[in-house]
Amino acid sequence: MIKIAPSILSADFSKLGEEVKDVEQGGADYIHIDVMDGRFVPNITIGTLIVDAIRPVTSLPFDVHLMIEDPDRYIPDFIKAGADMISVHAEASPHLHRTIHRIKESGIKAGVALNPATPVEWIREILPDLDYVLLMTVNPGFGGQKFISRVLSKIERVRGWKEAEGLPFEIEVDGGINRETARLCAGAGATILVAGSYVFGQKNRKEAIASLRPETGK
């Protein structure tokens, strides 16, 4: 079963609470929250204040994607604000094993994100420790970018390791996901699809979300 995580980066921030409720009613499985620091990526977005503000409006799990340098410094704050799962970028985390275990010891799920140009071998040794792997299908920083199809072979390789070793982690993809690329990613082994502009760019979020699921979307 494919899970859908709308990214609020493309929501209307003047009515963020309503937007979150709308995708919850539309059948979303998670709320994807993109945290950017203007250093690891060339954009500044959401901090703990926003996470804290929208926590009461939904019961959906918060999938917090940290695109920041020195993520260890901020992980406790995002957990306090209501994160249910946190991913850190391998490119920004020299001690991934320690970072991942700190997140898990707090009782929430931990993932590692990889930029399109980063080889999947970077996370090979830590796969058994992970709840999920986040494979970026655009260069992180902005919504609405074009899907990089070369990442499909990375998804397949990670799926191959998962199946060969019987590991439980999920494979999440993020960037440029629409009706067509959703099918390509699911076919390659992705189980969680992040979609920002595709979901929030449509009036009917329920239809948009359903159309991303290969089993229901026509």
Residues in the annotated binding site: 7, 32, 34, 65, 141-144, 174-176, 196-197
Q: To which residue do tokens 């901090």 refer?
A: 47
Known catalytic residue at 174: yes
In the list 19, 22, 34, 131, the residue contacting Zn ion (rule: CB under 5 A) is 34
**Sequence-ordered alpha helix ranges (H) in the chain:** 16-25, 48-54, 75-81, 96-105, 151-165, 179-188, 197-200, 205-212
CB of 122 to Zn ion, least distance (A): 18
Q: How far apart are CA 166 and CA 128, in angstroms?
A: 9
Residue 65 in contact with Zn ion, rule: CB under 5 A: yes
Residue 63 in contact with Zn ion, rule: CB under 5 A: no
When CB distances are held under 5 to 8 angstroms depending on the partner's kind, the choice from Zn ion, ligand DX5, none that residue 141 binds is ligand DX5
In the list 10, 48, 93, 211, the residue contacting ligand DX5 (rule: CB under 6 A) is 10
Neighbours of 116 (CB within 10 A): 15
Cβ distance 17 to 205 under 8 Å?
no
When CB distances are held under 5 to 8 angstroms depending on the partner's kind, the choice from Zn ion, ligand DX5, none that residue 177 binds is ligand DX5
CB of 33 to Zn ion, least distance (A): 8
